[in-house]
Amino acid sequence: MTIERESEYESVAGGSFGGAFARIVRLLSSFGRATVILCAALGSFPAAFGRRNSRDAFFRELYAAGIGILPVVTTVSLFVGMILALQVGLELRRFNQEIYLGAAVMVSLLREFGPFSCGVCLAACAGSAIAAELGTMKVGEEIAALEIMAIPPVRFLASPRIVALAVIAPILGFYCSVIGLVGGGIVGSMQLGVDFSQYMTSALSIATVKDLYVGLFKALWCGLVVGTVAVFEGFSADGGATGVGRATQRSVIVNFLLILMFGYIITRICYR
C-alpha cells in the first residue's frame, strides 16, 4: 500500500475560489487516506503481532509512549490540576463555596483536562517521534524497499505504532486525571484553606462512572488520532531533511487541532 500526497490540484488556476477549492479537496483526500491507514492498521494488527519485528516495535512504542514520556506527563498534569484548582477556587471563595473545589476539579479532569493533557503529551512526544522516524525512512527509500519486497508498510510499520498509542492512551489519561487531582488538592490545602480530606471526599462524591468512561474514551480516541496522523505524515514526507521537518511539524499541529475538535464533539454527544 503506497501512501503519497496527491498533487493533481497543485496547479489549479489562481484566484481565491480556486485556491480554496483545491485546499478543501486536498484536505478531504488526506482525511480519506488517513482513514484508510487507520482501518488497515487495525485490521492487520493480529497478523502483524505474529511477526517478531512488529511485536518488538509494538512493545518498544508502548515503552516510549508510556514510561518514556512519564516525567513530561506528570509535570503537565500536576500543573494543569494546580492551575485549575487555583482559578476555580478563587471564584468559589467569592461565594464561600470552597467545599465544592474537589468536585469541580475532579469532574473537569475526568471529562476533559485529563484526556486533553494525555493527547497533547502524546502528540508532542510520541507522535512527533513517529512522524520523524517514518519520514526519515520514506525519504531514505526504506519504505519503497519494503514495497518492492512485498512487505506491506502499513502492517509492518503503522499497525504496531497506532495500536500501541491506542492501548497506552487510556492508561495515561487516567494517570493524568489522578495526578491533576493531587495537584489541585495541594493548591487547595496550601493556598485556599481547603482541608485535603474534605477536598478528596467532595471529589469522589460527585464523580460518576460515566465521567470516567467518557474520559477513557476520549483518551483512546486521542491515541488513535495521534498515531494515525503521525504515521500518515511520516509516509507522506518528501524532499529530504526539510520534508521530514515539515512532516513532523504538520503532525504536531494537526494533532493539536484534532484533539481539541474531537474533545468538544465527544463532550457534546455524551452530555446533551
Average pLDDT value over all residues in the chain: 87
471564584: which residue's cell? 91
In a domain, 41, yes or no: no
> Tens digits of per-residue pLDDT, 23-75?
888 888 888 888 898 898 888 888 777 777 778 888 988 998 888 899 999 99
Q: What is the pLDDT of residue 238?
A: 86
In a domain, 201, yes or no: yes
514495497: which residue's cell? 147
In a domain, 58, yes or no: no
Q: What is the pLDDT of residue 29?
A: 84
Classified as helix, coil or strand, 1 is coil
Q: What is the mean pLDDT of each run of 10 residues along the chain (272 residues)?
A: 48 58 82 88 82 82 89 94 93 87 92 93 93 91 85 87 94 95 93 90 88 93 94 89 90 94 91 81
Instruction: Report how far residue 15's alpha carbon sits from residue 32's, in angstroms, rounded to the nearest whole number.
Output: 26
In a domain, 24, yes or no: no
> What's the whole-model pTM score?
0.86
Quote the DSSP letter at residue 14.
S
Q: What is the pLDDT of residue 3?
A: 53
**202 grid coordinates:** 467532595
Contacts (Cβ under 8 Å, ≥6 apart) of 98 = 89, 92, 188, 192, 193, 194
Quote the DSSP letter at residue 69.
T
Instruction: Report how far residue 83's alpha carbon sits from residue 117's, in angstroms, rounded to the nearest whole number.
Output: 13
The answer to whether the CB of 128 falls within 8 A of the CB of 252 is yes
What ranges in the chain are assigned the alpha helix state H?
16-49, 52-65, 70-94, 101-108, 114-121, 128-139, 142-148, 153, 159-191, 196-206, 209-236, 240-270
Q: What is the pLDDT of residue 12?
A: 44
Can you state the angle between helices 159-191 and 70-94, rounded to 10 degrees? Answer: 40
Contacts (Cβ under 8 Å, ≥6 apart) of 85 = 101, 105, 183, 184, 185, 187, 188, 192
Q: What is the pLDDT of residue 22?
A: 81
Instruction: Report how far residue 200's alpha carbon sits from residue 143's, in angstroms, rounded to the nearest whole number.
Output: 51
What's the angle, vertex CA 162, arms to CA 160 and CA 168, rounded to 5? 95
Which domain covers residue 73, as residue numbers?
69-270
Ramachandran region of residue 12, left (φ > 0), alpha (ψ -120 to 50) or beta? beta
Q: What is the pLDDT of residue 8?
A: 42
Q: What is the pLDDT of residue 1?
A: 54
Q: Which of 118, 85, 80, 119 is nearest to 102 (CA)?
A: 85
Q: What is the pLDDT of residue 156?
A: 86
In a domain, 249, yes or no: yes
In a domain, 8, yes or no: no
**109 grid coordinates:** 479532569
In a domain, 15, yes or no: no
Which helix (H) or strand (E) segment is 272 a member of?
A: none
Instruction: Report how far residue 67's alpha carbon sits from residue 102's, in angstroms, rounded to the nearest whole number.
Output: 28
Q: How many domains does the chain have?
A: 1
In a domain, 29, yes or no: no
Cα separations in angstroms, 166 against 84, 119, 171: 27, 11, 10
